[in-house]
Structure formats: structure tokens, C-alpha cells
Structure 1
Amino acid sequence: MSTIRVSEDVKERLRDLKREDESFNDLLDRLSRTEKDVERIAEDLSSIGGEDFEADMQEAHDELNESLEERMGR
């Protein structure tokens, strides 16, 4: 276990992003996942979905990215 120092502003933004049932460690793990992780999961799931499943997953991925960017103030 290690300690990470952040400003109060950053801590408040992280607190706003944190889900109710989530620790700060869980939050940082979730936020630090790469696009490649999401793409790999989408590829794995596409084998169980219909023809439009991959397109639906890409659309959901894009929407999540946009939402995260808005919440992060970018």
C-alpha cells in the first residue's frame, strides 16, 4: 500500500467521480483502464452478441469516453 498526494481540488473531483460502493483505489483502477482494455473486452463479448453488438459496444465506449471527459473538465 502506498500514499498518493493530491490537491484538495483534485480530491474533490475524484470524490465526485467515485461511486457510492467504490473505494478511492477502485475508482483509480477504473479510471486508469486503457482504451485497449475496453477494446479487448468488446472483442471478447462480440462473440456472444448479435451482428450489431460490436457497433453497439463501440458506441457505448465512445459515450463513456465523452462522459468521462466532461466530468474531468476537459
Structure 2
Amino acid sequence: MSTSIRVSDDTKQMLQSLKRDDETFDELLERLAQSEQPIDIGAWSEEDADRAREAVKHSRESFE
């Protein structure tokens, strides 16, 4: 069975840059779909989350 998927020229170029020489677009999309890891909500400890919040705060302050 075959299905066509329409993508913009920009998207095709991005996919082409990710595609391995010995890989079809179908294989590329399968690889990308399988490698995508779901977000594990609450994966950070409270301490890690606090450090991340502080890092973001300091980063934002540096642009002011």
C-alpha cells in the first residue's frame, strides 16, 4: 500500500538533509517516528526544576 504525503519544499529540504544516503524517505520517516521520545511529565525533581527556572531567569535578565 502506498500513500502520498504533501510537504512544502522547505520541509522536503529539511527531510532530505536528515535522510541517510542508503535510506528511502519511508525509512527516514519511520526512523524519525520511532526515535521521538514522549515527554515524561514531571520527570525532573523539584531541585532540578528550580535550577532550570533559575537558569532561564538569569538568561532572560542578560537580554534586558
TM-score of the superposed pair, with normalisation by structure 2: 0.53
Q: Which has the bigger relative contact order, CA under 8 A and spacing at least 6?
A: 1
Q: Partners of 1:5 and 1:16 in 2: how far apart?
A: 17
Structure 2: where are the runs of 5+ without partners? Answer: 39-64
Q: How many percent identity over aligned positions? A: 47
Partner of 2:13: 12
Q: Which has the higher helix share?
A: 1
Give matches, 1:1-74, under 5 Å: 1-33=2-34, 34-35=36-37
TM, length-normalised to structure 1: 0.46
**What stretches of structure 1 move > 6 A for 4+ residues in a row?**
none
Uncovered stretches (5+) of structure 1, i.e. residues with no partner: 37-74
SS in 2 for 1:32: helix
